[in-house]
Structure 1
Amino acid sequence: MSPASNNEDSTGAYRRQAAVGTSTDNTTVPPLSPASPKSTGYGRNVVASATYAARWSKPAFTLNDVRNAVPAHCFKRDTARSFRYIYADAAGMLALWALATQFYRLPLWAAAIAWPAYWIAQGIVCTGLWVIAHECGHQAFSEKAWINNSVGYVLHSFLLVPYYSWKFTHGKHHKANAHMTKDQVFVPSTRSDHKEKIGERQEPAAPHHDEPVWADAPIADLLNIVAMLTFGWPMYLLNNATGQRFQEWTSHFRPTAPIFEPKQWFHVVASDIGMGIMLAALFLAGHIWGSAAVLKFYVIPYLNVNAWLVLITFLQHTDPQVPHFADSEWNYLLGAISTVDRDYGVLNHFFHHIGDTHVAHHIFSTMPHYHAEEATAAIKKFLGPYYLYDKTPIAKAVWNSYTTCKFVEDEGDVKWFKH
């Protein structure tokens, strides 16, 4: 079955076949025909994904082809080098803590400036520690599994993340990225999820806005974005928010949840114990130094870490450029390249390049972050038009993705975001 026929329901009216190959010349992907309509269905503008859907075709290269394009040394893990990044992040975190202890000496007006600056800076530095723990979960920190798991367990427990529980579900996410029924996070809603609001689709191919439903007041979208950045991560851990839906309570803290296998029971419990130890330490700190101190020194930076985590991952997987696949069309390579790289400026350094090298990370998740920039350059050259990158400023990108990526159609093997 050709890519065009696979997607006739949702994008066939706008599809043209893209040239397949590894050229870096983006002209190999033909532009939309000049005759392509600017609007369709009741005069509405086409959705943001229509252009990408029209140009998409299934690549001919294989995972091994991509691997051969990356220098071999990029796959080497160096334990000593990996630890140096932990030392640097930990030193930065402790230095900021020490500096913050002096804020009590400041006049009120100065403290009102210093504390928010600390919360922002500490949130950024601790996000770097989160990324290192994330690498441990992928076994990218060291060649030795026990080092990966020991370091990851300590770091993630410190940041109130159930290490093994998250490791198991995140591994499934990587194995099935962009798969409509097997991916574990950022699974898009379908039209049927909103059937009562938007009704049945009226046209065989209708890539237009469903304005009566999604033309929300901007303040509503803004508040929803704030809620997503504030509560998105704990709700994912507690209730599998944005993940697959099950008929029972699904939580990263429940060892019998359907997202885990029976053999993983002990590790999930061990993750809960790590969380319990950290919570007990925070309770003890509150008893000694006061709850206000715990709030200022730990809780608010922790919330900032959560916000960065949700923002980064949301933008990696939610964009008009990103397709999602039914089981009949999906394969590992298609899923791995269906994620977006973005530039976070100087924060790329503090975040260990998790945002601007994410395509490489999804293709080769055991590759350490300190080789990811070099690997990304090689992958970008090889993939050509199949490499997804967005240079939109981050704040604007969040708004664009949230307001234009509302749902996908139930039908079709390759699905694109609509709104």
Structure 2
Amino acid sequence: MTTSTIESHESAHELGNSDLKLKDIIKSLPRECFEQNRRKAWTKVLLSVSMVCLGYFSLIIAPWFLLPLAWIFTGTALTGFFVIGHDCAHRSFAKRRWVNDLVGHLIMMPLIYPFHSWRIQHNYHHAHTNKLDEDNAWQPISTTLYESCGKIKQWGFKAFLRYRLWWIGSIIHCGVLHFNWSLFQKKDQASVKFSVAVVVLFAAIAFPILIATTGIWGFVKFWLLPWLVYHFWMSTFTLVHHTAPDVPFVAESKWNQAIAQLNGTVHCDYPSWVEILCHDINVHVPHHISTAIPSYNLRMAYGSIKENWQTYLHDECRFSFSLMKRITDQCHLYRADSGYQSFKDYFAGR
């Protein structure tokens, strides 16, 4: 770990002792940031549905050599479905709960993503953002955990982190956490079971029909590969939002909610077409200040946050494979006292 990384890590810990409260930041935001606009919300739905339909039309007519571009476009447009479901989960899509739940289930259904399972666990992430051993979105692997694992699991950790496999992270996360209702409190299990039943029923009907009409290749072409592109973006957004060599995960005794949301959430700019199709989910700091801010107001809120709280914000970055290489090269294991450590440095120090 470099000296600058350690200094940044220690500086963030010092910020964690600040008396700043999340309510102070929320009060500084323009009231317009929290206003729900039915026209804007449903325009987002119309845009996503139109772009997904365009994507599937392109898969039908595209010659074989253009299929990769069509898969990338369609999968990215499907990610817009998730972002709308994301608003529904935070009740910022519509004022009526039943509308949020209905749209959330319908829009996440083709993604095979159980709405209530994700909603409940994602809210836990917001309550414990970058809290060591608590945050459930992308918790770093501690050296203690790594050393306590067997050889096979250690190999799995190394393969996942060193060989650029971050893009399957959300698939593993969903499969392990979102279909197991025993992980939830009893009061939530009925809702989780319902959401799991919805996506299982969708898959049980849609997949056989797709295979019967287009064959196994049609299933791969029209569902599997766009779905993998969607998970590439899901995994990438989640990783980049809260992971950098100088972004700390802080023990509960030192954790400050306001600082965690400001300094532990990274703003990353993506190509404009990705930001449009994904409804500005990359403008993520305001969303962590208040989940009540709809996606179409995130840029307005971020402008206010930069104006009033710039000192606390992490440096912005721009998406590139060099950025992903830097994260996946350095952010391997984690020590509470010094931050991230690469496997190379870990084994060199043993």
Place the TM-score, normalised by the shorter chain, in its bin: 0.7 to 0.9
What pairs up with 1:378-397 in 2 under 5 angstroms? Answer: 378-397=304-323
CA distance in structure 2 between the partners assigned to 1:164 and 1:51 by the alignment: 40
For residues 20-56 of structure 1, the C-alpha deviation after alignment (integer angstroms, 9 at most, x for no partner) is xxxxxxxxxxxxxxxxxxxxxxxxx626621312433
1:408 aligns with 2:319: no
For residues 345-383 of structure 1, the C-alpha deviation after alignment (integer angstroms, 9 at most, x for no partner) is 21222211111x111111111210111101001101211
1:237 aligns with 2:174: yes
Picking from 345, 353, 361, the partner of 2:280 is: 353
CA distance in structure 2 between the partners assigned to 1:372 and 1:384 by the alignment: 16
1:46 aligns with 2:2: yes
1:184 aligns with 2:149: no
1:194 deviates by 3.5
What pairs up with 1:210-221 in 2 under 5 angstroms? Answer: none
What amino acid is aligned across from residue 166 of structure 2 in structure 1?
A: M
1:388 deviates by 1.4
Residues 1:221 and 1:149: Cα distance change in structure 2 (over 3 Å)? closer
Paired position in structure 1 for 2:44: 85
Residues 1:290 and 1:116: Cα distance change in structure 2 (over 3 Å)? same
Residues 1:361 and 1:73: Cα distance change in structure 2 (over 3 Å)? same
Structure showing greater Rg: 1
**More helix by proportion, 1 or 2?**
2
What amino acid is aligned across from residue 191 of structure 2 in structure 1?
A: H
Paired position in structure 1 for 2:195: 271
* Greater mean deviation of Cα atoms: 384-393 or 318-327: 384-393
CA distance in structure 2 between the partners assigned to 1:374 and 1:79 by the alignment: 17
1:335 aligns with 2:260: yes
1:372 aligns with 2:303: no
Residues 1:93 and 1:323: Cα distance change in structure 2 (over 3 Å)? same
1:335 deviates by 2.5
CA distance in structure 2 between the partners assigned to 1:299 and 1:358 by the alignment: 28
SS in 2 for 1:147: helix
CA contact (8 A) 1:52 1:320 kept: no
What amino acid is aligned across from residue 234 of structure 1 in structure 2?
A: I
CA contact (8 A) 1:342 1:389 kept: no
CA distance in structure 1 between the partners assigned to 2:143 and 2:224 by the alignment: 38
1:166 deviates by 0.8
CA contact (8 A) 1:48 1:418 kept: no
CA contact (8 A) 1:190 1:407 kept: yes
Paired position in structure 2 for 1:418: 341
Paired position in structure 1 for 2:75: 123
Paired position in structure 2 for 1:36: none
Paired position in structure 2 for 1:309: 234
SS in 1 for 2:7: helix
CA distance in structure 2 between the partners assigned to 1:416 and 1:118 by the alignment: 40
Paired position in structure 1 for 2:345: none
Q: State the 4+ residue runs in structure 1 displaced beyond 4 angstroms.
A: 220-223
Residues 1:140 and 1:320: Cα distance change in structure 2 (over 3 Å)? same
Paired position in structure 2 for 1:14: none
CA contact (8 A) 1:133 1:152 kept: yes
CA distance in structure 1 between the partners assigned to 2:101 and 2:161 by the alignment: 38
1:300 aligns with 2:252: no
Structure 2: state its 5+ residue gaps.
343-350
CA distance in structure 1 between the partners assigned to 2:242 and 2:252 by the alignment: 18
What amino acid is aligned across from residue 400 of structure 1 in structure 2?
A: R
CA distance in structure 1 between the partners assigned to 2:81 and 2:89 by the alignment: 13
What amino acid is aligned across from residue 396 of structure 1 in structure 2?
A: S
CA contact (8 A) 1:188 1:408 kept: yes
What amino acid is aligned across from residue 65 of structure 2 in structure 1?
A: I
CA contact (8 A) 2:36 2:93 kept: yes
SS in 2 for 1:417: strand
CA contact (8 A) 2:55 2:77 kept: no
Number of residue equivalences: 331
CA distance in structure 2 between the partners assigned to 1:189 and 1:366 by the alignment: 31
Structure 1: state its 5+ residue gaps.
1-44, 104-110, 198-212, 240-250
1:402 deviates by 1.4
For residues 200-227 of structure 1, the C-alpha deviation after alignment (integer angstroms, 9 at most, x for no partner) is xxxxxxxxxxxxx9xxx9xx688621x3
How many percent identity over aligned positions? 23
Could you state the TM-score of these two structures normalised by the residue count of structure 1? 0.74
CA contact (8 A) 2:129 2:261 kept: yes
Paired position in structure 2 for 1:228: 166
CA distance in structure 2 between the partners assigned to 1:84 and 1:90 by the alignment: 10
CA distance in structure 2 between the partners assigned to 1:386 and 1:221 by the alignment: 32
CA distance in structure 2 between the partners assigned to 1:350 and 1:89 by the alignment: 7
CA distance in structure 1 between the partners assigned to 2:35 and 2:72 by the alignment: 33
For residues 313-339 of structure 1, the C-alpha deviation after alignment (integer angstroms, 9 at most, x for no partner) is 111111023121111122321322211
CA contact (8 A) 1:47 1:418 kept: no
SS in 1 for 2:181: coil
Paired position in structure 2 for 1:287: 212
RMSD: 2.4
Picking from 247, 266, 269, the partner of 1:322 is: 247
